[in-house]
Amino acid sequence: MSDDGAARLPRSERPPPIELRSMCKAFGPVVALRDVSLVGQAGSVHAITGENGAGKSTLMKLLAGVHAPDAGELRIDGRVVHLHSPAAARRAGISTVFQELTVLPNLTVAENLLLGREPTHLGWLGRGAMQAEARAVLARIGIELDPQRACGALSIGEQQMVEIAKGVSTDASVFIFDEPTAPLNRAEVDKLEALIGALKAQGKLIFYISHRLDEIFRLCDTVTVLKDGEWVATEPVSALSADTLITLMVGRPLQALFPPRAATPPGEAALDVRRLTPVAGDASASLLLRRGEIVGLGGLEGQGQREIMRALAGVLKAADCDIVRSARDARSAPFDPREGAVRVVQQGIGLIPEDRKLEGLYMDLSIADNIGLGVLRGLGLMRRARRDRALLERIAAQLQLRARDLSQDAGELSGGNQQKVMVGRWLAAGVDTLLIEQPTRGVDVGAKAEIYGLLREFVAQGGAVLVLSSDLLELIGLCDRILMVRGGRIVGDVPAASASEEALLALALADEPVAAKAAAI
Amino acid sequence: MRSIRSGISVYTLGLPVLLVVVLGLAIPSFLAPQNLANVSGQITALLIVTLGQMVVALVAGIDLSVGSVISLASCLVATQADPLTGVALALLLGLAVGLVNGAGVALAGIHPLIMTLSTMTFLQGLAFLILPIPGGQIPPSLRELANGTLWGLPQPLLWCALCAGAVALLLHRTRLGLHLFAVGANAHSAQLNGVRTAGVVIAAYAVCSLLAVVSGIYLAARVAAGDPSMGAAFGLESVTAVALGGVQLTGGVGSIVGAITGALSLGLITNGINLFGVSPFLRGAFTGALLLVAVCVQRRRSVGL
């Protein structure tokens, strides 16, 4: 047989586009991957799933050239390859859509799309060619964006679509998507799925990292489950049921994801928002949040639900408001979040923001410090956190944190544990009303159930929770009532127990041609 | 919308205009051709350094060594018999200093303040070693380049236009320019997109040092001598000018126009103080206060917010 015989072999005998053998990776003392092997076949969508800290992202970052493995080998088309940098991975034909947005806010859409592979001649940029190419990419993918716009002016969803467009438009044979759908709305998710379908039809290999079971079952051909950095199983998706997949991921039988709703009716009002106009000239919303209940805010992206949340938290300065706040002892007083976030917290209202890295946690501080911030708030300069050690220990136990100890940096934790630390901070502060955005973004199934449980426990003890989520199933499962927002107005107040995805979607869209639009989505 | 990238605001553009109007009205001699020629001569050196400082600020760096580079470049040019040798030596020196600064910051992970403070001190010593007291020889051909006129325009203007044009091309027409903005906004993201961040940072410092050399050569030609302490004030002045021009020291935001208006404002203030006959010591106090006010009025935004 000649040297290039491999190329002429029938497909099934050709070396796979990607083969990982016994990959190991540790970060300091923490082992992220232990002896993981994996084969990806051309023309298939291969899901990588598992709980928090299972090593999914680490595995993909080895493929993307971000990290170098400690041991093991990577074969591309049967040849052993060492990837030293993201640029090297790209040259080797691996294109990655990273979980964290890598879109740069001060660059235009076109510049972001082509960053790192700009059309150049001896270092000179072909600006015209860039525009044309960006336009072509956007048109092919079906995104209506002006390539000249600065990305910092786009919504998170739009930025994610730019990120995806950037990855997909690369001339590669292997594509990696790391939790791509989290910030996307339904229409955008559909676009992404169509793109992945097209790549698959072209015979590409797609690695798709996701926690979302519905996506895995809808999109993927094969699924590999990791747990605690080790390989658990690789199965054809068609051979699995949701329950068996979850059992593989969690390593224990599926408990109900959502805790049961409260048996008792909700109590007194905690926040009576009679009128709230987040942005001058826009619509006003009114809503009632009572003790003992979890209320959801839903809607299509950009319909004003986020602004309502942020205005209540005092992060966004509302144009106008009329709100009555009732404390635990049932004393009521006017409440004006425009006095600023610090005053809002002092009145017992805590915000858990969508972007934990930027607005929530101090990634370089320990878990104890991050939780302790809640306790230290408003105390004298000389107060030492040491006294609160017992409180911190108690809260950490309540949170079921998975961490070495309380001195571990928050930045080293998985998404789910970071979210628990955020909840813990407000528990320590004695807050009785929680405003929480996207409670389980970037959180795996196992930790999701625990976070839902924490929130349910919080309201059972007389707290109130307002949840913003773009995941309708989450709203239905977690909440007592769901408020649907459209155009800045609350257009529906639906008891979660009787809510269906279709009905909520209909509310989110419009009243009239509901059926037609819902079908189009 | 574009100001996400350029940092230009009404204040950056308005400050020099306001200064010209105020000075023009208050001091008749300000608009005299002699004074204008004088001012533009002074501002040219500052502008050229400021352009370099801006490039470094784009990648979230700061270069304090530019002052010493200016001094040393002037000494090198003034002590060489052949002006071409002097200029070539000075440019080589600038390249070397920039590469060392950049490598220290990008590869060894040294904080830019400490890295460039070290080179600043080191090079200052070298300058005094080469030329302990101001003096030396600057050939007439070189002097003519900084003091004469070309096509009826003062030569300094030509230096400004050439340097600003070159940096503008660099920023907006080359891949390196795009990468400077990308690395400054978020080095990690840029790297994930295949940008070689270390190389970009090193290039930024090299460009800055080279421009400082150009400024030093210009100054030496202008005063017809080398001076080991000629550039001492330029390190901090260029940072001030950059900040006045709306360039964010946190990286990713800046523009040629900002560098020009910043340098212009600072130069006009200096000239105004001289013309008013105020104590030169008050000039420092005034500049400091103005910087604080200017930076406060400008709506500060870090990239991404």
Q: What pLDDT shows up at residue A1?
A: 39
B208 touches chain A (CB under 8 A): no
Span A358-371, pLDDT tens digits: 788 888 888 888 88
Q: pLDDT band at A5, cuts 50/70/90?
A: very low
**Structure tokens belonging to residue A459:** 């309201």
Position A199 pLDDT exceeds 90:
yes
Integer Rg of chain B from CA: 19
The chain A residue lying nearest B172, using CA atoms, is A125
Chain A interface test: which of B8, B169, B170, B178 (most A C-beta within 10 Å): B178
A155 touches chain B (CB under 8 A): no
Cβ–Cβ < 8 Å for A328, A462: yes
Contact A105 B4 (CB under 8 A): yes
Q: What pLDDT shows up at residue A385?
A: 53
Q: pLDDT band at B2, cuts 50/70/90?
A: very low
CA distance A70 to A26: 7
Position A254 pLDDT exceeds 70:
no
ipTM of the complex: 0.85
Cβ–Cβ < 8 Å for A181, A189: yes
Nearest to A86 among B1, B172, B192 (CB): B192
Contact A166 B182 (CB under 8 A): no
- Contact residues, chain A, for B192 at CB < 8 Å: 64, 66, 86, 96, 98, 102
User: What global pTM score does this model have?
Assistant: 0.72
User: Which residue would you say has higher pLDDT here, A251 or B236?
Assistant: B236
Contact A127 B173 (CB under 8 A): yes
Q: pLDDT band at A518, cuts 50/70/90?
A: very low
Span A84-109, pLDDT tens digits: 899 899 999 999 998 878 899 899 99
Span A381-395, pLDDT tens digits: 555 555 567 888 888
The chain B residue lying nearest A153, using CA atoms, is B1
DSSP state of B8: -
- Which range in A10-14, A56-60, A327-331, A383-387 is most confidently predicted, on average pLDDT? A56-60
Q: pLDDT band at B145, cuts 50/70/90?
A: confident
CA distance A195 to A164: 9
Nearest to B1 among A66, A102, A150 (CB): A150
CA distance B19 to B14: 9
Three-state DSSP state, A364 = coil
Q: What pLDDT shows up at residue B163?
A: 96
Check for a shared fold between A5-250 and A257-348+433-438+463-521: yes
Position A166 pLDDT exceeds 50:
yes
Span B35-50, pLDDT tens digits: 888 888 889 999 999 9
- Contact residues, chain A, for B188 at CB < 8 Å: 102
Task: Tell me how many degrees the CA angle B151-B153-B159 measures, rounded to the nearest 5.
Answer: 105
Residue A77 backbone class (left: φ over 0; alpha: ψ -120 to 50; beta: rest)? left
What are the residues whose beta carbons fall under 8 Å from the beta carbon of A230, sequence distance 6 or more?
Answer: A33, A34, A35, A36, A55
Question: What percentage of chain A exceeds 90 in pLDDT?
Answer: 37
Tell me the residue type at B122: F
Q: What pLDDT shows up at residue A510?
A: 62
What are the residue ranges spanned by the domains of chain A?
5-250, 257-348+433-438+463-521, 356-431
Please compute the mean of the pLDDT values over residues A165-173 and round it to a whole number: 89
**Structure tokens belonging to residue B47:** 């502008």
Query: How many beta-carbon pairs under 8 angstroms link A with B?
Result: 89
Three-state DSSP state, A48 = strand
Position B118 pLDDT exceeds 90:
yes
Cβ–Cβ < 8 Å for A52, A77: no
CATH 1.10.1740 for the B7-23+38-297 domain, yes or no: no
The chain A residue lying nearest B196, using CA atoms, is A87
What fold does the segment set A257-348+433-438+463-521 form as a domain? Rossmann fold (3.40.50)
Weakest mean pLDDT among A130-134, A355-359, B264-268? A355-359
Please compute the mean of the pLDDT values over residues B98-108 and round it to a whole number: 96
A166 touches chain B (CB under 8 A): yes
Position A20 pLDDT exceeds 80:
yes
CATH of domain A5-250: 3.40.50.300
Contact A106 B184 (CB under 8 A): yes
Please compute the mean of the pLDDT values over residues A488-496 and round it to a whole number: 90
Q: What pLDDT shows up at residue A387?
A: 59
Tell me the residue type at B83: P
Position A18 pLDDT exceeds 90:
yes
Position B194 pLDDT exceeds 60:
yes
CA distance A130 to A148: 10
Weakest mean pLDDT among A60-69, B26-35, B113-122, B195-204? B26-35
The DSSP line for A442-467 is T--HHHHHHHHHHHHHHHHTT-EEEE
B177 touches chain A (CB under 8 A): yes
- Contact residues, chain B, for A153 at CB < 8 Å: 1, 4
Three-state DSSP state, A50 = strand
CA distance A158 to A151: 9
Task: Tell me how many degrees the CA angle B198-A151-A356 measures, rounded to the nearest 5.
Answer: 80
B60 touches chain A (CB under 8 A): no
DSSP state of A184: -
Span A213-230, pLDDT tens digits: 888 999 999 999 998 788
| Torsional sign, CA A23, A26, A30, A32 | negative
What are the residue ranges spanned by the domains of chain B?
7-23+38-297
Q: What pLDDT shows up at residue B105?
A: 96
Please list the alpha-helical segments (H only) found in A115-185: 127-141, 156-168
Position A514 pLDDT exceeds 80:
no
CA distance B158 to B152: 11
Cβ–Cβ < 8 Å for A305, A297: yes
Summary mean pLDDT of chain B: 89
The chain B residue lying nearest A125, using CA atoms, is B174
Q: What pLDDT shows up at residue B204?
A: 97
Strand order in the sheet with A294-298: A349-352, A433-437, A464-468, A294-298, A481-486, A489-495
Tell me the residue type at B127: A
Summary mean pLDDT of chain A: 84
- Contact residues, chain B, for A96 at CB < 8 Å: 192
Q: What CA dihedral angle connects A401, A405, A406 and A411, to 10 degrees?
A: -80
Q: Mind telling me how many Å the CA of B169 is from chain A's nearest CA?
A: 9
Which own/partner contact pairs does A301-304 have at CB distance under 8 Å and 24+ positions apart?
A301/A155, A301/A157, A301/A184, A301/A185, A301/A470, A302/A155, A302/A157, A303/A485, A303/A486, A303/A487, A303/A488, A303/A508, A304/A278, A304/A485, A304/A487, A304/A488, A304/A489
Q: What pLDDT shows up at residue A442?
A: 72
Please compute the mean of the pLDDT values over residues B3-25 and round it to a whole number: 85
Please compute the mean of the pLDDT values over residues B57-75 and round it to a whole number: 96
Span A397-413, pLDDT tens digits: 888 887 878 888 888 88
Q: What pLDDT shows up at residue B219?
A: 94
